[in-house]
A and B are shown apart, each in its own frame.
Chain A
Amino acid sequence: MVVHSFYVINRSGGLIFSYEHSIPKIELEKTFSYPLGFVLAPSDKGVVVQFGQRDGIKVGHTIISINGVPARGNNIDFSSAPSTATTNDDEPPSSSLTNSYDIIKYLSDPSHYPVAIKFGRTRLAGNEKLILSSIFHSMYAIACQLSPELNSSGIRELETDQFKLYCFQSITGIKFVALTDLKQTNADALLRRSYELHSDYALKNPFYSLEQPIWCPLFQQTVQQAIDLLERTGSPYA
């Protein structure tokens, strides 16, 4: 039973609180020979696998490191780190400028192989969370519009084959969202509990202004405690 993360979305669809409880780390390192067999594409998160998933490396994974050297966005710089696997021995001794490569160009050169590449699933960046929370806000509204039944609310529970998303909207219009795995029960109680905690530790905080991001340490702590309790005992109440 795992709660992955917890978010609070305000009335206009802005993310005002996010807490990541346990996000599984998905990383895989493998040594490849030429040709690589993946279709790679640059993106703002780094170089992403677009096609050709195999050996546990899936579409959507990004390149985290090459030969133990961490990637920096779409580029990699071998001069800063001590070169462990020196596959580029035969190149002329170069200044730090020429040791920096575009990853896709680097991997398309047969002389750089064999190469050890670490692939992984990147976590959501701050901006991405903001985008996704406003997408969810509109999805919630469309779900009530498309309802075949009268007086429908928006999305309460969204199910996929790997995780579930629970959403509770308070009468003041604030959405509490939790991502859990499939086995977690009683997530609704957690959301109700977090509404209480929000009223107690955010709204009653004299330095908190409505609809603004929540930076109240007590709120964060108590939410964390409630999630821990839920995972251990099945109820968010002590």
Chain B
Amino acid sequence: MVVYNLYIFNRNGQCLFYREWLRRKQTNMSKEEEFKLMNGFLFSVKSFVQRLSPVDLKDGFLSFKTNCYKLHYYETATGHKFVLNTDNNVGNIRDILHQLYSTIFVNYIVKNPRASAVDVIDSDQEIFIEKLDEFISNLSIFSQTNKA
């Protein structure tokens, strides 16, 4: 099992943070463009799911799969959106994303007086990046193929 990359968006759709652990294909656009496309895409998926649903939804959109990757989506009450791409064999990791939010993001960004939860997380936030890397690489879904 493989973890590819992580996007964090704020409620205005700005990409606060992007990190990749393994990525075999880059898009043919700049990173800025890609973040905008991803955010717009998630916005449409969310509204699509709301409109299509035959029953009332609670959490709404959770994940989708293609033949080679799976995109997991988690949105907090503050409108922060966490998007983690993994390979196809990963099950439901909503609780992992919630844990990532509550233990890493809240502790090292929200509670950090030198960081802002609504602004872009720059590379000065070494402790956040370090803890995030540690958290992801200790996950059971982050396997040997990722480390190679």
Residues on A facing B (Cβ under 8 Å): 4-5, 23-24, 26, 58, 60, 121, 124, 128, 132, 135-136, 138-139, 142-163, 165, 179
Contact = CB atoms under 8 A, between A and B. Distances in A.
B110 interface: no
B64 A143 contact: yes
B112 to A, nearest CB: 29
A52 to B, nearest CB: 15
B24 interface: yes
Contacts, number: 118
B77 interface: no
Contacts of B25: 147-150, 152
A139 B42 CA distance: 9
Contact of A24 (B38, B45, B54, B68): B54
Given A152-B67, A152-B69, A156-B65, A58 B51 contact: no
A148 B24 contact: yes
A142 B66 CA distance: 11
Nearest to A138: B44
A144 B51 contact: no
Interface string B94-120: 000000000000000000000000000
Given A144-B66, A159-B61, 19 more contacts: A4-B54, A24-B54, A60-B56, A128-B51, A143-B71, A145-B27, A146-B34, A147-B68, A148-B22, A149-B69, A150-B25, A151-B68, A153-B68, A155-B65, A155-B66, A157-B65, A158-B61, A161-B57, A162-B57
Contact of A148 (B53, B54, B85): B85
A146 B26 CA distance: 8
Nearest to B41: A142
B48 A135 contact: yes
A60 B38 CA distance: 26
Given A146-B37, A148-B4, A160 B61 contact: yes
A9 to B, nearest CB: 13
Interface of B: 4-5, 20, 22-25, 27, 34, 37-38, 41, 44-45, 48-69, 71, 85, 87, 92
Contacts of B87: 149
B23 A148 contact: yes
Contacts of B85: 148
Contact of A132 (B52, B61, B71): B52
Closest 10 pairs between A and B when the two form their complex, measured CB to CB: A148-B4, A158-B64, A153-B67, A161-B59, A157-B65, A149-B68, A148-B23, A4-B54, A23-B54, A58-B56
A162 B66 contact: no
A149 to B, nearest CB: 4
Contacts of B51: 124, 128, 132
Contacts of B66: 143-144, 147, 152-156
Contacts of B61: 158-160
Contacts of B56: 26, 58, 60, 121, 162
Given A5-B54, A60-B56, A132-B52, A145 B64 contact: no
Given A139-B45, A142-B37, A162-B57, A156 B67 contact: yes
22 contacts: A26-B55, A26-B56, A60-B50, A121-B55, A124-B52, A132-B48, A135-B48, A136-B48, A142-B37, A146-B27, A147-B69, A148-B20, A149-B25, A149-B68, A152-B68, A155-B66, A160-B57, A160-B59, A160-B61, A161-B60, A162-B58, A179-B54
